[in-house]
Each structure stands twice: as structure tokens, then as C-alpha cells.
Amino acid sequence: MSPGPDPSLTGLRFVVTAGGTREPIDPVRFIGNRSSGKMGNELAAAAIRHGAEVTLVTAGVLPAAQPGLTVWVVATADDMYAAVRSTLEGARVLIMAAAVADWHPSRVAAHKLKKGASTLTLVLVPTVDILSALRDDEIAAGVFKVGFAAETDNVIDNARAKLDAKHLDLVIANDVSREDIGMGSDHNEVTVIGRNGLQQHIPRAPKSVVADSIVRIIARSLR
């Protein structure tokens, strides 16, 4: 039998991001990734079960409507950054579960690019790094920031580097080289790493169970 809701989160507001951004090439094509948004949706639902109010900024599958949930739909990394900044005021926790694209085409064709015999070369430039951009932003002052580190190798070391570089409070290390967990799957397995020395492994389980464990760790960290 799982424990009941954590009363310490009652009345707090969370901003949660979800899904993979889509960076357009032309009006019908985009650069994207395999993120479905399921993990972010489950984190939002878990926070609500514990009494928080949630603003979900998503580029993924929309969750069912429920009390306590406000949804902002976005497409690109720039869209998501603008939406996060617009919704952070008054928030206590930011969970960046979205798989934000690292690059976008330097120019977007106004019309559909036609297939031909020649090759197509795309010039890619970096997208905004949302957590890095928020690091010294006054809008994020006092917000408890949680990032995800989706890695395929040196998972824990790379996650710790992200925790330090982006001045996060917690980072969720996520091995996306496995097909039975992570992007697109209904299950996940993660390690939660904190600035205070915390390192807690959450074994493979449905994403709803993993999300509940993460939210409980956030609640304990806030106390």
C-alpha cells in the first residue's frame, strides 16, 4: 500500500515541461526526437495528487484535463523557453522533463522542399538552453529547479556535470540507450542526484510510480 499525499506540497505551484520540441525545416518537416511527453505528464499528475497546482508546458501528448492543471502547448525550443519564463512567476518548483532539441535549422524554408536527385544540406545552429538561460535570471530566483539528464553513456557522471553547470537543485539521470525505459516507453528507471549529496536510485517501474517517487523526493528536499 503506497503512502498518502505529502501535505507539504499543498498550495505550491509547479511548472513542468514535457515532450520533445519540433524544430521546423519547412512547413511540413521538422527535427524532433522520440520523447512522447509521458514522463512530464505523470510528474504533473503526481504533483497534483500531492496537493500542488501545476502548469504543464508541453510539446508532447496532451494529458486529460483535471482540476489543478493548466496546460500550455508549445512546439519549438524558443516557444518552450518563452512559455516557461511566462509561467514561472509565483512558482516554487520547475521540473524540466522535456527533451528540448539541441539544434534547429539556421533557416526555415517558406515552402515545402521538393524531393530531387540532389542531396539536401541543413545548417544547424544551437537552440536556447533553457536551464542555462534561467541560471542567472531573476524570474527563476527562489525556484527549486529539477533537470533531466537523458544520457546513453557515463550516465551518472554526465548528470552530475549538468547539475553543477546549470546550478540545479536536483537532476534526474535517465539512461535512454535502453528500449524498455525512457523515451516513448510506459516505464522508466532513474537515479535522482542532489546538490546536497543525495543519490537515490528508482528502479524500473511504470512512469506514474517513478513520478510519484520523484515528487516525494522533491517534497523532502523542500523541507
174 touches 184 (CB < 8 A): no
Tell me the per-residue pLDDT of 21-39, one tens digit each, with 9 for 90 and over: 999 999 999 999 999 999 9
Look up the pTM and report it: 0.95
Half-sphere exposure in the Cβ direction for 211 (13 Å, CA): 25
Q: Assign 199 to helix, strand or coil.
A: strand
Amino acid occupying residue 88 = L
In the CATH scheme, what is the homologous superfamily, with its name and number, of domain 8-104+121-222? CoaB-like (3.40.50.10300)
CA distance readout (Å), 88 to 129, 132, 140, 192, 214: 16, 15, 7, 23, 20
Q: Give, rounded to a whole angstrom, the gap between the first and last alpha carbons of the chain.
A: 24
CA distance 13 to 93: 7
Q: At CA 166, angle to CA 160 and CA 172, rounded to 5?
A: 45
Mean pLDDT of 64-88: 97
Indicate if 174 belongs to the active site.
no
Tell me the per-residue pLDDT of 94-140, one tens digit each, with 9 for 90 and over: 999 999 999 999 999 999 999 887 889 999 999 999 999 999 999 99
